[in-house]
Structure 1
Amino acid sequence: MFSPALNAHKPLFLSNSNNKPFSSPFLTQQPLFFLRLSKTHFKPTTTLSVSATLIPSSPSPSIQQHYQPYKPPPSPIPSQYKSLDTPSRLEILSNRLGLWYEYAPLIPSLFQEGLTPSSLEEATGISGVEQNRLVVGAKVRDSLVQSNTDPEIVASFDLGGAELLYEIRLLSASQRAAASRYIVLSKLDAKGAQDLARAMKDFPRRRGDKFWENFDYTLPGDCLSFMYYRQSREHKKPSESRANALQMALEAAESEKAKSLVLKELEEGGERKEREDGEIADGVPVPVVRLKIGEVAEATSVVVLPVCRSEDGERKILEAPWECRGQGEFGVVVAEKGWERWVVLPGWEPVLGLGGGAVVVAFPDARVLPWKANRWYREESILVVADRGRKEVKADDGFYLVTLDGTGGGFKVERGSDLKERNVVECLGTVLMVVRPPRYDTDDQMNDEDWN
């Protein structure tokens, strides 16, 4: 046990070599105490002196890690402009001194010096849109040079080529080289270059569309031709709009395989014009379209149609509004009667010119349609657009909306030939088109051959 006498606290004072009390502003006025646990008197041990020079000095890790804000690399200003000050660079932009791709790098360099697009527009007269076009066009031109594009092709953009090169900015380096050559050889304007770039970006996503394999992905002209060819299929056959789209597809095509396909479509359209009107009416094309995400918002015209469920009876079809139009300066949609279910679709050719009588039937399963045998399709909902004004069953290869076994307990789509075999001469309406729901991927596309 500890003795109270031995465990008493005794003050310990510090002193220097002159036996004078040691004082420091960093020491408190309270004495320091040590707790003695035995009777043995405290004997100081030998003091060791350690030189600070023997300890390797290493800065604290926290001192080494300094925050360094990101600084963008300097703009690659052409050598002839590097020695110029800000007023001189502004003068070059104001007077367009030199070729456009030479003074275009001055724009980002002035931004780094504190100018804004609006202040630069005031000083030089170059709008913000044109500033962006010049900078991006110059970068696209540099990529063409780096990819060893034909110098003559690159030189073709020296005068006013920023707008053309800007349109192909989203293409890869190899696609830019091919697109630039096609733009020069075909003498495309900015709108043509924009269509070309869109067609080249969209072509891979169209895999599975009818006759897609007849066009060569590596040829920009074939990509553009396929876009026009798809547009031709959205028009009635035959029609002037369809013929014009096919003619544009033929002019744009580069491969012989694509040219042969488009030319064949043009010739068939000409033969159909020479036939009698009764023969033309026999053919009933039924396009199968997958609605794209955002397509309704981007459409220049839309249609609003009443919708019935597949399990509704014939009475529901008859009660649906016959006509729905936009009125006034704002195009306010007005229907002849109230209805609870509506759908908005882009103004596609089969339904855009329809005066009235169109109705939509929503089916929860696409397999209710008369597809080819031994073919499997993903279960998905569809919309069948039918014309109630055309109830007569005429064409064998046409498709018509009827009730299930004539009981009125629901709807289905049947071929004209099947209905004629059962002596059915009247239906609820002729099918105009089938709409599939939007989806991010484009696999499992239904082709037009599915209706043959």
Structure 2
Amino acid sequence: MFSLTVNTPKPLSFLISTPFLPTRHHSLLSINPQKLSSPKSLSISALILPPSSSSSPQKQQLYQPFRPPPSPLPHKYRSLDTNARMEILINRMGLWYEYAPLIPSLTQEGFTSATLEEITGIPSSEQNRLVVASQVRESLVESTDSDTVSYFDPPGYSELLYEIRLLNNQQRASAARFIKAQKFDGKETQELAKAMKDFPRRYGDRGWESFNRNSPGDCLGFMYFRQAQEHKTASSPELSKAALERALQVVESDKAKKKVEEELERKGGEGGEGDVDSDGLVRVPVVRMAMGEVAESTVVAILPVCKAEGREIELEAAPWECGMGGEFGVLEAEKGWTRWVVLPGWEPVATLKRGGVAVLFPKAKGVLAWKGKKRETDEEILVVADRGRTEVAADDGFYLVVSGGNGSGEEGLKVEKGVKLKEMGVEESLGTVVLVVRPPREEIEDQLADDDWE
């Protein structure tokens, strides 16, 4: 507590005078000394209290102090200098996922991948694989059991983890357990990762609803199931059956197993009417392209495109052969053509040598005995045919013919089954159908998992 003394000011009386203004009395500034009392002494008491957090807000710190990110190196390597870390990489000391973090630490010090390859003997591609695989392994440590994680500890198993890098954490964990159970190698793991990533985009394809998207085996089995349809369209029953048998080995859900077994039984007992369902509709296996599938393909096929209404005249006029020449791989066709299409290198398309062509139909309805939704029957389709094989040989094969001469009123190309053509006495066609392609469409909701892709 303290005391304060306040003295009353002395009386003031003055006039404001200036040579530029007339002299005036300012009554507000004139103070009568008779009305002023003598100075008084006042006593004021005050209690000093510390400021409370509620009454005076604390000043917020606008800039947080810099905190360096945690070191990617294992604790036992953090005290080593550059030469010691180089020696570990040169001699491959420890497990692969232990010394893999040394590579980015040396890169941060200015070493390029080429320099590290020259010093340590680890190729640049393997450096990248080791670093990425170690990061995938770290995500597995938090999402799956220790036995599954330790399965990938031996040398060379980093390749398996590298292949599942594009999957999210949940998919990585399920894929890792499946790889361990099936003892997959690098190529098989690559197929598994591709199948799991591609499965949501295949929504609407034949049989898709029978496979479980959360099962790695079902995703892989559906890829084999689709390949079986492609081989079947290309009149390769042996390859089609082999693909179905592979699918049966890997599928996990009962519903998927039943679907594959039904397809195998139907193939085993199919005769002249093997592709005709109980409702009398002819089913033709088709493939729907995925968005960006051509860009991801390592092998593509380029085919001339004809319009169905162009009949046999346009079909025969299209180039029969084209190839790539020169150091830049320039595409060279035997004649000029205005319409071309680039398709992924599916086996039925990639095996076409001379005479391959794609026929564009404005609507799927009317081309085939189509059983599907209106949206699917009204979309464009491409029918890939081999003009080098014109003989109507197989009853269950499909062939390009000219329609319009039977009173239908619409002239153009059409797809007919071999058994029907034989009944009409037709022995030659314009070409054998090897594949039917549906256009890609935008992703729909709920195709992908809720968690983000990494």
**Interval containing the TM-score (normalised by the shorter chain):** 0.5 to 0.7
Task: For 1:259, give the aligned amino acid.
Answer: K
Change in CA separation of 1:192 and 1:169 when aligned onto 2, cut-off 3 Å: same
Number of aligned positions between the proteins: 383
- The answer on 1:38 being equivalent to 2:33 is no
Give the direction of change, closer, same or farther, for the CA distance of 1:334–1:400 in structure 2 (3 Å limit): same
Residue 240 of structure 1, CA deviation: 3.0
Q: Is the 8 A contact 1:305 1:343 kept in 2?
A: yes
Q: What does the per-residue CA deviation read over 1:377-403, in whole Å, with 9 as the maximum and x for residues that have no partner? A: 265433333455537699599565424
Identify the match of residue 159 of structure 1 among 154, 157, 166. Answer: 154
Measured against aligned partners, the alpha-carbon deviations of 1:92-129 in whole angstroms (never above 9, x if no partner) come to: 22222222222223333333334333333333333332
- Which residue of structure 1 aligns with residue 321 of structure 2? 324
Counterpart-to-counterpart distance in 1, 2:108 and 2:324: 52
Identify if the C-alpha distance between structure 1 residues 72 and 288 changes in structure 2 by more than 3 Å, giving closer, same or farther. farther
Q: 1:72 to 1:369 in 2, by over 3 A?
A: farther
Change (3 A) 1:215 1:356: same
Question: Which residue matches 2:439?
Answer: 437
**Cα offsets for 1:212-267 (capped at 9, x unmatched):** 22222222222212112212221135533223322322222223332333334334
Work out whether residues 310 and 361 of structure 1, in 8 Å CA contact, stay in contact via their aligned partners in 2. yes
Question: 2: CA distance between counterparts of 1:83 and 1:394?
Answer: 73
Backbone CA RMSD of aligned residues:
4.4
Q: Does 1:260 align with 2:262?
A: no
Task: Return 383-392 or 153-162, whichever deviates more.
Answer: 383-392
Q: Tell me, yes or no, if the aligned pair for 2:288 and 2:438 is still in contact at 8 Å.
A: yes
Specify the SS of the correspondent of 2:171: helix
Match of 1:116 among 103, 112, 118: 112
Summarize deviations over 1:258-289 as a string: whole Å, max 9, x none: 233333433444445xx7xx888999974333
Structure 2 unmatched runs, 5+ = 1-17, 30-60, 446-454
Query: Measured at CA, do residues 316 and 154 of structure 1 come closer, stay the same or move farther in structure 2, by a change above 3 Å?
Result: closer
Distance 1:365 1:169, change over 3 A: same
Q: Is the 8 A contact 1:171 1:197 kept in 2?
A: yes
Q: Alpha-carbon deviations, 1:323-359, whole Å to 9, x = none?
A: 3254878787666655444444445455555565554
Distance 2:149 2:415 in 1: 58
Aligned to 1:210: 206
Instruction: Tell me the distance in 1 between the aligned counterparts of 2:231 and 2:394.
Output: 21
* Residue 175 of structure 1: aligned partner: 171
Q: Percent identity?
A: 51
- Counterpart of 1:101 in structure 2: which amino acid? Y
Matches within 5 A, 1:316-355: 316-321=314-319, 323-326=320-323, 339-353=337-351
Structure 1 residue 177, shift from structure 2 partner: 1.7
Is the contact made by 1:361 and 1:384 (CA closer than 8 Å) also made in structure 2?
Answer: yes
The reply on whether 1:307 has 2:305 as its aligned counterpart is: yes
Equivalent of residue 86 in structure 1, options 74, 82, 86:
82
| 1:59-92 CA distance string (max 9 Å, x none) | xxxxx98899x88514233222232222222222
Deviations 1:395-435 (A, max 9, x none): 59956542445699741536569988x96958655654433
- 2:247 is aligned with 1:249: yes
Q: Structure 1: give runs of 5+ residues left out of the alignment.
A: 1-34, 46-63, 444-452
Q: What are the superposed Cα offsets for residues 2-25 of structure 1, whole Å, 9 maximum, x if unpaired?
A: xxxxxxxxxxxxxxxxxxxxxxxx
Are 1:413 and 2:441 matched, yes or no? no
Change (3 A) 1:394 1:165: closer
The one-letter code of the counterpart of 1:435 is V
Contact kept in structure 2, 1:137 and 1:162, CA below 8 Å: yes
1:215 partner amino acid? F
1:200 maps onto 2:196 in alignment: yes
More divergent stretch after superposition (389-398 vs 213-222): 389-398
Q: What SS class does the counterpart of residue 111 from structure 2 fall into?
A: coil
User: In the aligned structure 2, how far is the partner of 1:244 from the partner of 1:304?
Assistant: 28
Deviations 1:135-189 (Å, cap 9, x if unpaired)?
Answer: 2222222222222x22222222222232222222222222222211111221112
Per mean C-alpha deviation after superposition, the further-off stretch among 401-410 and 433-442 is: 401-410
How far apart are the structure 2 equivalents of 1:354 and 1:107? Answer: 46
Task: From 137, 140, 143, give the equivalent of 1:141.
Answer: 137
Question: 2: distance between equivalents of 1:109 and 1:244?
Answer: 48
User: Equivalent residue for 2:380?
Assistant: 381
Q: Following the alignment from structure 2 to structure 1, what is the Cα–Cα distance between the partners of residues 264 and 290? A: 28
Contact 2:114 2:124 in 1 (8 A): yes
Distance 1:327 1:145 in 2: 48
Does the aligned pair in 2 maintain the 1:313–1:409 contact within 8 Å? no
1:202 deviates by 1.6
Change (3 A) 1:135 1:353: closer
Q: CA deviation at 1:194?
A: 1.9
- SS in structure 1 opposite 2:128? helix
Supply the AA of the counterpart residue of 2:443.
Answer: D
In structure 2, what residue type is equivalent to 1:411? Answer: G
